[in-house]
Structure 1
Amino acid sequence: MCLVVYQLRTAFVLFGLYQVAGANFFGSLEQSEVSEDQILKSYDYIIAGGGQSGLVIANRLSEDVSKTVLVVEYGYFNRDPSQLDPLSGIAYLPRYLFNYTTVPQQALSNRTSGLLAASAVGGGSTLNGMLFDRAAAEDYDNWERLGNPGWGWEGLLPYFKKSTTFTPPRVDLVEEFNITWNVHKAYGSGPIQVTFPDWQWPTLKTQWRGWDELGVPRNLEGNGGDAYGTFWVPTNNDQSYRRSFAVNAYYDPIHARPNLHLITGYRVNKVIIDDDRLARAVQIQERKADGVSSRSSTIIQATKEIVLCSGWLNTPLILQRSGVGPASLLKKAGVDVVVDLPGVGSNLQDHPALNPAYEYHTDLIPNERSLYTNATFAQWADEQWTQRKGPHSLGVGNALADLPLRLVDEDWSSTLAVLQAQDPSTYLPKHYVKDQIDGYNAQTKLLRSTLSKLNNGAIEIPFTGVNRSYVVLEKPFSRGNVLINTTDLYGAPTIDYQTNFNPVDVKILIAALRTYRKWHTTPSMMTLTPVEIIPGANITTDQDLSHYIARSIDPTSGHSCGTASMAPRKIGGVVSPDLTVYGVKGLSVGDISIIPMIPGTHTCSTVYAIAEKAADLIKSRNIY
């Protein structure tokens, strides 16, 4: 899923004002969309989930006209034109999200949290902030070092390129703001269109200088494997600043293929696995408006492979309901154990985020508030937008500070030493078995090495020329889980991020807040006369900052991953490097849940690369 932190939960009402009268929220029957009565009895490939990765894989598998492909998606199409505009990057309509909440988060004052998990065709690419970046190369190299050959930076780079096409921004904007990129190293000629908006706020130049004065190095851009320091990031928009995403880039151009079928509004209950542990079929069931299935289920056969693309939330739930998961959990739920695979549903990671804010008393003009306080400027901006230009083309922003731990935490070596001395079982979910603890130890060993370097970020601070930002923890050491409801297999699952349960995460966040404040004391930033509003200048001690974090941090940036982890089985992995599920034939996973260690980036671009690579792997083992 690629849903970023730059959402404003209060923006739902605002976004509703932009809905087009008569907009088709649930989609008309698309050319390849079928009803249950039109579904074939069997397909070569069945893809459980028509989100971001599911549509990519469906596109690539259906290129072979001799192969039939069925995509089963719980959500519906969102064909509202406003969903394509930059404003949609900060307003996520609840009808396109799963309506679940976490269990109380012990380290967050026992608060519960809603989720950012998309329920729509196109998945997280339909509902995100459209910031299109990649992590530093070492983040992906760590996947390979964990025991996944072919999944390092060099193995993924061809798929990053295969999925994208870059178009430079206006020349005068490039010169004024010193916008930089590396088209030859980072981009290809793929379906997803990537560019920069037609506008940046003047204050952004001041913020850039502030990071320079703080000693943070500038990089050409993040998408070439150098995502650390400060750098520019494009957005996945076309040249008219409309969202370029899995639906209009991967599905729409091929929706008329006769060998491709898509059914929406249906849940995959489970995969049917025979006595030889071969995945034979899926059981699907229609949903009602309240999300509860209404009519009897239908079984559809797969002759070659079943591919789970239901995301970090539902892929592990489907596996667990199918008898693949932790044996103790399955037995408690009354599910026959097919494969005891403890890692299914574990290893949940996300980027928890704080939202501090300042008031700039001598801000540059125009600024974001000019859209509301200056009628002449607002009218000009509206006129520009009729030509798809101007301030309304700017979404969540395009500049990031990706700060290495050594630039954030003066005591960084002691922080890493604390990790090394920990008994990991103290801070992991209690149901973890030895293999999972060994896997976590392998991850933390890699992370300690990575975080000791200057070419990798621990904290992300996006800056857009406005007076508020986010402080995002990119390498959390806490781990959570997604588990079926043992008294109701289709009821609300147990979702527990365990955010900040490991105290090292809090220590790094406190240091990050102090760095954020230090940035505002640089000579350039002081010209704006910044006054801290949140958390407030009176919040100074580690204890007070810790309390602020517990009360205020959001457990999710919409980057949840890891719940069907790609890693060796002996260290808690669920899928092998070819993405097949351990212990089951004919069953694979091709979505964000396979990520073993969360990369320091907004995950949308990475999911496209995963899906493109998954499609090649699936085709290579099903040639005949």
Structure 2
Amino acid sequence: MYLARIPLLKSLANTSSQVLIPAAMDQVLPETTAYCDFDRGLLAMSFLCPVNTKQISFPGTILNGGTGILPSYDYVIVGGGVSGLVVANRLTEDPESMVTSFDIDLMPVKLTVQVATVLVIEAGKIDNHSPAIQYPRNVLLAPVNNSWPITSLPDAELNDRTTPVQAGLVLGGGGAINGMAFDRGSPGDYDLWGKLIGDDSWSWIGLLPYFKKSETFTPPSEDLQEEFGIGFEPDAHGFAGPVHSSYPPFITTTQKSFIRAVRQAGLPIQLDGSANAIGGFWSPNSLDPVTRERSYGRTTYHELSNERQNYHVLLEALVTRLTPDLSGVEYVPGYDPTFNVIPQGAERRKVRARKEIIMAAGAIHTPKILQLSGIGSSDVLHGLGVEQVIDLPAVGENFQDHPVLYGSQELTNLSDPTQLLSYTYSNATYDAEQGALYELNRTGRWTASWENILSFLTAEYLNVSTTSLTQAAQQPADKFLRPGLDPTIVQGYEKVKSATLKSMIEGRITLTENLIGGIVSLQKPLSRGSVRAASTDPYNMPLVDYRAFTNPLDLAIFTQGIRFNTDVLPTTDAYQELGTVVHFPTPGLSNTELEAVIRSSAAPTFNHASGTCAMLKLEDGGCVDNELRLYGSMGRIRVVDASIFPVIPSAHTQSTVYAVAERAADIIRERH
């Protein structure tokens, strides 16, 4: 039983009235009835009525091969990754949203209650608790078939090298295969969003409640607080959300040395990076504090939805396109992600969305599916031979990621090699001992995925001059963009670039992430890439063009980030006590030499694909509005994944996607 709150929005003075709430569930579910009394004659009122949900029949939750799929649902969600599972969970959880109509004849009142239904279509499989995904120690060992088989186009500025593109192909998406970092950007990151879209609800203050809503934070133990100085700000965290964030019981002493070095290099040390991610700070993982296993969409949002009678998940089904009238989704069941094939003779099927189609396929696949559906630039669609349904030039543009360089350092004075997380991968005996300990009591090295100490540097700490940033702001907007872009995209980029550089100058956003071991990642690239469908064959992987470092300011900032690792940190007492020797890149290199290193060795991605269906105004090259509605779709299509980021945040993007999806779910529920 549940209590359904029914709003009465008209006079009930007559003996017989009818109130309708939109979007009835025509011919999908049987009626459920209940009776209750109320006082007549009020202009507007509400009352609670018990509703017997046992009469509602809905066949199963996980569907394979298309068996059991209904002809229509209220919402069809394309993609069962981080954002898709969040939105599906929230749309199926609220009894109030399940009431669609009732009749008022004579006392008592007869109610007809029908639940809002959701279908999630996911191309991948469900992971059944495999250690490769669940165990933190294995973050670098996710099965190959849990990621799409995509290779990027050659990057001209990276010596024409190609790069594997990681995009989750499993229920839970990227949350199942990432490094489990659960940090977020600085307030300035999200204030930039709010400014660009003209809506403060997308700023830091507006998004913070959604970061908190997604999270159950477990504070560090007293031992960790005392030994490592790990603090936290309760107001920055949620304590009742689906996804767990916590610290592993195993943290290496080298991480304590790293934060000392960062402090000695002049950076501020934050009590809690979740409140202000500038400088050095400790950060939790998406880690269940009891099981010490990965916490992600499949184990949290999906499991919470799993017993609901109005929730369906179709696995191993490839979405080929949206229907031309935008009323539904076309898909092929039986997709084999291992070999990118379908069973011989499989036919395309359709499912209708009565209210909305929700795109949650990620920044790589959402634009591809839209383009195959006739939504995008006329030039792109003409090249594909696809008839245009919506003229939206920005689909697939504004592509951003975090370029990264993996350095190499040696700690010659380190007496205990187990204080390097990487030691478990090089010493089989130690690794086996730690594995046995983990299986016994969930302690030891296997509870840790990656380092929990992070540092993010502003222009000041990178010695990036205000002059160079000001000069970059004066560049013609299209100077380093791909030729032939629609004028709205160029105009929007100019606004984004100007606002981003202003925030850089003010020190409100960070430019690089510098990690232990010599890793450096560019956080606010001005270069822009694109994602396009390769052909009308939906089994062809999309064309991913990072265009990394095409804007020379990115190269200049990145060289300074590398120097912080090779020339600044090694001079600190903390590094010298460890006998730190930097092997790669070599300290003291000139700008020209460092640029050559970047071109030969940097990767264009930290697996944080973003921005390909940007939330910007239409005249600024946007794809979705501030309510995430796709322009031109008459409210039929909404996008809820990382492709809506107008500017990539300076952070690992996992927790931001959770927050965006939580906000998207609230927007959708308010709309319907």
Q: What's the counterpart of residue 510 of structure 1? A: 559
2:148 to 91, 94, 98: 98
SS in 1 for 2:165: coil
Partner residue, 2:181: 131
Residue correspondence of structure 1 range 355-366 to structure 2 within 5 A: 355-365=406-416, 366=418
Deviation, structure 1 residue 426: 2.3
Match 1:247 to one of 298, 317, 322: 298
Q: Using the alignment, how far apart are the partners of 2:376 and 2:595 within structure 1?
A: 36
Q: Secondary structure at the residue paired with 2:506?
A: coil
- Detail structure 1 runs of 4+ shifted over 6 Å in the superposition: 372-380
**Post-superposition shift, 1:367?**
2.1
What is aligned with 1:339?
390
Give the Å deviation of 1:621: 1.2
Corresponding residue of 2:101 = none
Q: Is 2:38 aligned against 1:38?
A: no
Contact 1:269/1:318 (8 A) holds in 2: yes
The one-letter code matched in structure 2 to 1:530 is T
The match for 1:476 is: 525
Q: For residues 59 and 310 of structure 1, what CA distance do their matches in structure 2 show?
A: 16
Q: 1:512: how far off?
A: 1.0
Q: Please state if 1:414 is matched with 2:467.
A: yes
**CA deviation vs aligned residue, 1:498-551 (integer Å, no higher than 9, x gap):** 0111111110011111111211111221111111111234x6111111010011
**Structure 1 residue 557 corresponds to structure 2 residue 587:** no
Pick from 461, 467, 491: which aligns with 2:514?
461
Identity among equivalent positions (%) equals 34
Inter-partner Cα distance in structure 1 for 2:450 and 2:511: 21
Contact 2:340 2:539 in 1 (8 A): no
Task: Map 1:198-597; keep pairs closer than 5 Å.
Answer: 198-224=249-275, 226-239=276-289, 240-274=291-325, 279-286=326-333, 287-288=335-336, 289-294=338-343, 295-365=346-416, 366-368=418-420, 371=424, 381-382=434-435, 384-385=437-438, 386-409=440-463, 411-463=464-516, 468-486=517-535, 488=537, 490-517=539-566, 518-537=568-587, 540-585=589-634, 586-597=636-647
Matched AA of 1:619: R
SS in 1 for 2:292: coil
Larger radius of gyration: 2
Taking the aligned partners of 1:372 and 1:560, their CA distance within structure 2 comes to: 28
Q: Is the 8 A contact 2:372 2:536 kept in 1?
A: no
Q: Secondary structure of 1:283's partner?
A: strand
Partner amino acid, structure 1, of 2:357: I
Tell me, which stretches of 5 or more residues in structure 2 are unaligned?
A: 1-58, 99-114
CA contact (8 A) 1:32 1:256 kept: no
Residue 37 of structure 1: CA displacement? 3.0
Q: 1:251 to 1:523 in 2, by over 3 A?
A: same
Q: Is the 8 A contact 1:381 1:391 kept in 2?
A: yes
Q: CA deviation at 1:31?
A: 4.2
Moved more, 289-298 or 70-79: 289-298
Give the conservation status (yes or no) of the 8 Å contact 1:148–1:566. no
Residues 241 and 141 (structure 1), Cα distance of their counterparts in 2 relative to 1, 3 Å cut: same
Deviates more, 1:165-174 or 1:135-144: 165-174
Aligned-pair CA distance for 1:375 = 9.4
Letter in 2 for 1:178: G
CA 1:43–1:375: 2 relative to 1, 3 Å: closer
Choose from 124, 142, 151 the match for 1:75.
Answer: 124
Q: TM-score, normalised by structure 2?
A: 0.84
* Counterpart AA for 2:82: Q
1:84 CA displacement: 0.9
Distance 1:154 1:496, change over 3 A: same
| Letter paired with 2:454 | L
CA apart distance, 1:253: 2.4
1:210 CA displacement? 1.2
Q: Give the deviation of 1:94 after TM superposition.
A: 1.3
Structure-2 residue corresponding to 1:12: none
Aligned to 1:151: 202
CA deviations on 1:338-393 (whole Å, 9 max, x unpaired) are 11101100000000101111111102425227658889976764554221112221
**Number of residues paired by the alignment?**
583
SS at match of 2:563: helix
**TM-score under structure 1 normalisation?**
0.90
Tell me the distance in 2 between the aligned counterparts of 1:577 and 1:88.
38
The one-letter code of the counterpart of 1:139 is D
Name stretches of at least 5 consecutive residues in structure 1 with no aligned partner: 1-28
2:62 matches 1:62: no
The corresponding residue for 1:10 is none
Change (3 A) 1:402 1:437: same
1:132–1:235 Cα contact (<8 Å) kept = yes
CA distance in 2, matches of 1:458, 1:306: 36
Deviation at 1:556, TM superposition (A): 0.9
Asked if the contact 2:61–2:309 (Cα under 8 Å) also holds between the matched residues in 1, the reply is no
Alignment counterpart, residue 211 of structure 2, candidates 160, 185, 189:
160
Give the secondary structure class of the aligned counterpart of 1:46: strand
- CA spacing shift, 1:376–1:248, aligned 2, 3 Å: closer
Q: Determine if contact 2:137/2:445 at 8 Å carries over to the other structure.
A: no
Change (3 A) 1:379 1:299: closer
Amino acid at match of 2:230: I
1:337 to 1:377, Cα distance in 2 relative to 1, 3 A = closer
Which amino acid counterpart does residue 214 of structure 2 have in structure 1?
Answer: S
For the Cα contact (< 8 Å) 1:148–1:576, is it kept in 2? no
Task: Give the aligned residue type for 1:154.
Answer: I
Asked whether the 8 Å contact 2:472–2:553 carries over to 1, the reply is yes
Looking at structure 1, the residues matched to 203 and 614 of structure 2 have their Cα atoms a distance apart, in angstroms, of 15
Q: Quick check: 1:44–1:302 contact (8 Å CA) kept in 2?
A: yes
* Counterpart residue identity of residue 255, structure 1: N
Residue in 2 that maps onto 1:48 = 78
| Conserved? CA contact 1:163–1:191, under 8 Å | yes
- Greater mean alpha carbon deviation, residues 600-609 or residues 178-187: 178-187
SS at match of 1:427: coil
Give the Å deviation of 1:148.
Answer: 4.3
Report SS of the residue matched to 1:70.
Answer: strand
Change (3 A) 1:376 1:81: closer
Deviations 1:141-183, CA, capped at 9 Å, x for gaps: 1111002412111111111111001112221121010011112
Which residue of the partner structure matches residue 109 of structure 2? none
Render the CA deviation track for 1:462-497: whole Å, top value 9, x for unaligned: 23xxxx241010000110000112464542322101
Deviations 1:177-196 (A, max 9, x none): 00111122322310111110
Aligned counterparts of 2:425 and 2:466: Cα–Cα separation in 1:
47
